[in-house]
Chains A and B, each alone.
Chain A
Amino acid sequence: MDLLPLVANSATASPPRPVLPPLRDQPLRRVLREAPHTLHSALWLGHQLGRQADTTCTSGFAALDAQLPGGGWPRRALSELLLRQPGIGEIRLLSPCLTAIQRSGRLVMLFDPPATLSAWALAQLGFDVEQLLIINTRTKALPSGDSLWALEQALKSGHVGAVLAWLPPRLRAERLRRLQLAAHAHDGPAFVLREMTAAERPTAAPLRLALRPAGADALGVRLLKRRGPPHETPLRLALPPVLSNSAREHARAGFAQGAAALHGATFINLAGLL
């Protein structure tokens, strides 16, 4: 289905040329009819997976990279992740990309995390905990506009390596669009996490994933929106493990089979007996 070879064949008579033949030698109408996506890296045909004009940041999961345009998380654009509830494995999903950015010496900023972060858990995932900057704008005393102002400033400055933001619920579309425009100046991935009900409304972000747990230490990812053909089947990614193998077997057996679950030990209240 790839139309590139057609264009290359017509140019075999001449000395070796770059992959995209100069337009001068091909009538423009012909290129537009046969291979319009070769005109610019930002164009793609509906059945193809789009290329990213900028290099992408690898997500760390081969199955996901194969489905993302450009082979990784996009830079200079928002990537929207929708979850029903925090704590299903989203940090473990993003940790390969974010730790790689930290190792390359750039700053990672978190905006409005929903609960307290555990420094030990982050260190186990590979983060340099001292180098994370957390902006907490959720207090009653501040006007609500400030949380998005801080995010916009960080995106526009262009010096931040990666941004991970939890947006307030029921965000208006034009505010998200404004953040997407600000992300053009940001050289790195920008992740925004929102509630699952936002899937019903359109978004200005070019990439949208829906996350849900798919078993212990596994995450189910559905690509709702991307620059390319729609992806029907959800992916099941194996996250950096928290459980041992035997515990995972227990989990897979699950409730339905009534597998012997671990019981909490019974305690005898010695104090009561005395």
Chain B
Amino acid sequence: MLWVAVHLPLLSLESFAATLPAAAASQPLALIDTHRIVSANAPAQQLGVKPGLKRATALALAPHLTLAQADARRDEAALSAVAHTALAFTPNVTIQPANDAVGAEHAAPDTVLLEVQGSLRYFGGLQSLLQRLQRALVPLGHRLHLANAPTALGAALLARVHPRFDGVDLALTQRALDAAPVWLLGPGRAHWEALQGMGLRTLADLRCLPRSGVARRFSAALLDELDRAYGAVPDPRVSIVLPPVFESRLELFARADTTEQVLYGAGLLLDRLIAWLAAQHAFVRRFTLVMQHEPRWRRDAQTPSETTLELALAEPSRDRAHLLVLLRERLARFVLPAPTLELHLRAADIAKRAPPNTELFPTPRSEREGLLRLIERLQARLGHERVQCLAAIDDHRPELATVVRPADAQAVCRAHAAATAGSSAATNPADDHDGAEPAPGVKVRPVWLLNEGEPLHERDSLPLLEGQPLQLLSGPERIESGWWDMRLVERDYFIAQLPDGALVWIYRTRQLVSNPRPGWYLQGRFG
């Protein structure tokens, strides 16, 4: 058994800093609890703010200090993101429960334990596994203490003391534990004064005492923890289970007025989503971002209390940069009705498949993926209805024979890939059209069509377009259709020529009952 403990010493501070806009990370921040400073970040400590000071003193030292209270739910969400990242390395991941301390500070769990004996061979050794773990945890932006030891509790305790501890065997771990201070143990913290009075500072001192005496004088829990840390008693752990649906919320400290601020918070939630996806080797197909707005003074029925943004991907993906670009393009089109206070991210629709291979040179497959991403980006920014495909419909009426509909990115790229696979040698197009004729029986149609025929003036029973007489060249082609859907069309179509040589398609309506205004109309131009 080889346990790796990942301890986050500044978890509360970092999870609080995540709720602030990006620029505020370099400002002095501190957490307070009942008017006493609990922790402060580096800029605050430089100004002299230390844990234990009173609130008024701290504000006197650093007038621009941002204060907040530690929030257990916020810390738990941040820690679960770390645990999900760790799940990509081993299925046995547990969260070390908090020391139930009496008084003093608010203790939240801040250590994640991984049992990695089974994964060592796959990752090529402990050192490379630890390196990969650290690289995977970089996007979450926490300060980490890593320790590995044969016992779980031993690793957890040593991670609190040393930034990096390598316990290769039990003897080394036990020697390191001997030197560890006694307040690391939960019951040790409770009985700290008594222990100090007796001169017991390190765990070695505690072990020298008779066991029954320690159990009677302090609690049996203290002895049990000691035994578990030293490996004398087995320490079974239940590993965490990945939630089936991803749901995470982030309460912003300052209300977000601009898209950039919302994006910064959404970026953090995306990091947690990606950690959750990586743990189960899956890719997300669709996710929803809900932005909850600030309630206003006036009860305004028009201002909604939350805005929902749903992002559906043509191809399931786990790429942070790509998801952030799509989110940015969608948010750019939004006008938020009110400042945002809270963000929720929810993802339930995932696809489990093998990750794609990255290729050095462009291949049809990478071209297809690149095309998909391009179409997704265009759809995200312009809207689905502006990226269009044409379809030809079997209808004689020209204005209904073509239908424009929003493009389906997958269908375009799938058919495109099939065409690449089965492309024949391009035939040489006939480049001499002099004297050629359109194939008999084929009805020629103009490339450019007007949906509504444009009425033309008439002179000497010949139509005029922009004041110029049209010469009729070919026709008439009679189209009479559409009695079934009340859009009856009875027209005679001609191909006509403008004096400068351009060809247009015009029609004359037949003077029957259905046409209120008989006359010449322009239907299209031959492009």
Task: Tell me which of A9-17, A45-53, A196-204, A245-253 binds B.
Answer: A245-253
The 8 Å CB contact of B370, one of A134, A157, A216, is A157
B374-410 vs A, Cβ < 8 Å mask (1 yes, 0 no) = 1101100110001111111100001001111001000
Chain A residues closer than 8 Å to B445, beta-carbon distance: 118, 120-121, 124
Chain B residues closer than 8 Å to A218, beta-carbon distance: 501
For A249, give the chain B residue with the smallest CB separation.
B473
The 8 Å CB contact of B501, one of A103, A139, A214, is A214
Q: Is B184 an interface residue (CB 8 A)?
A: no
Cβ contact within 8 Å between A238 and B432: yes
Q: Is B212 an interface residue (CB 8 A)?
A: no
Q: How many residues of B contact A (CB 8 A)?
A: 86
Chain B residues closer than 8 Å to A115, beta-carbon distance: 448-450, 524-525
Cβ contact within 8 Å between A104 and B469: no
The 8 Å CB contact of A130, one of B374, B391, B501, is B391
A217-242 vs B, Cβ < 8 Å mask (1 yes, 0 no) = 11000000000000000000011111
Task: Tell me which of A22-30, A32-40, A147-155, A173-181 binds B.
Answer: A147-155
Q: Is B442 an interface residue (CB 8 A)?
A: yes
The 8 Å CB contact of A271, one of B436, B512, B526, is B512
Q: Is B358 an interface residue (CB 8 A)?
A: no
Cβ contact within 8 Å between B473 and A137: no
Task: Tell me which of B7-15, B278-286, B412-420 binds A.
Answer: B412-420
The 8 Å CB contact of B524, one of A118, A150, A247, is A118
Q: Is B474 an interface residue (CB 8 A)?
A: yes
Cβ contact within 8 Å between B431 and A149: no
Cα A84 to Cα B397 with chains together (Å): 29
Cβ contact within 8 Å between A137 and B471: no
Cβ contact within 8 Å between B416 and A121: no
Cβ contact within 8 Å between A86 and B448: yes
Q: Is B500 an interface residue (CB 8 A)?
A: yes
Interface size class of A (residues with CB under 8 A): 35 or more
Cα A262 to Cα B451 with chains together (Å): 26
Cα A86 to Cα B424 with chains together (Å): 33
Q: Is B95 an interface residue (CB 8 A)?
A: no
For B369, give the chain A residue with the smallest CB separation.
A159
For A103, give the chain B residue with the smallest CB separation.
B426
With A87-B526, A124-B442, A244-B474 as contacts: A132 and B374 at CB distance below 8 Å: no
Cβ contact within 8 Å between B471 and A117: no
> Shortest Cβ distance from A176 into chain B, in angstroms?
21
Q: Is A131 an interface residue (CB 8 A)?
A: yes
The 8 Å CB contact of B371, one of A107, A118, A124, is A107
With A118-B446, A134-B404 as contacts: A87 and B525 at CB distance below 8 Å: yes
Given contacts A115-B525, A120-B443, A263-B461, 18 further A-B contacts (CB under 8 A): A87-B526, A89-B502, A89-B526, A103-B419, A105-B420, A115-B450, A116-B449, A128-B419, A129-B391, A134-B389, A134-B404, A135-B378, A150-B381, A158-B370, A159-B367, A250-B471, A251-B473, A265-B476
Q: Name B residues whose Cβ lies closer than 8 Å to a Cβ of A.
A: 362, 364, 367, 370-371, 373-375, 377-378, 381-382, 386-393, 398, 401-404, 407, 412, 415-417, 419-421, 423-424, 426-427, 429, 431-438, 442-451, 461-462, 469, 471-476, 492, 494-495, 497-504, 508, 510-513, 520, 524-527
26 contacts across the A-B interface (CB closer than 8 A): A61-B431, A87-B524, A87-B527, A92-B526, A115-B525, A118-B401, A118-B402, A119-B391, A119-B403, A120-B402, A130-B389, A131-B415, A133-B387, A136-B388, A142-B382, A146-B382, A149-B381, A150-B378, A216-B473, A242-B495, A247-B495, A255-B499, A262-B473, A262-B474, A262-B494, A263-B472
Considering the complex of A and B, which 4 residue pairs feature the smallest CB-CB distances, nearest first? A87-B525, A105-B420, A213-B501, A119-B392
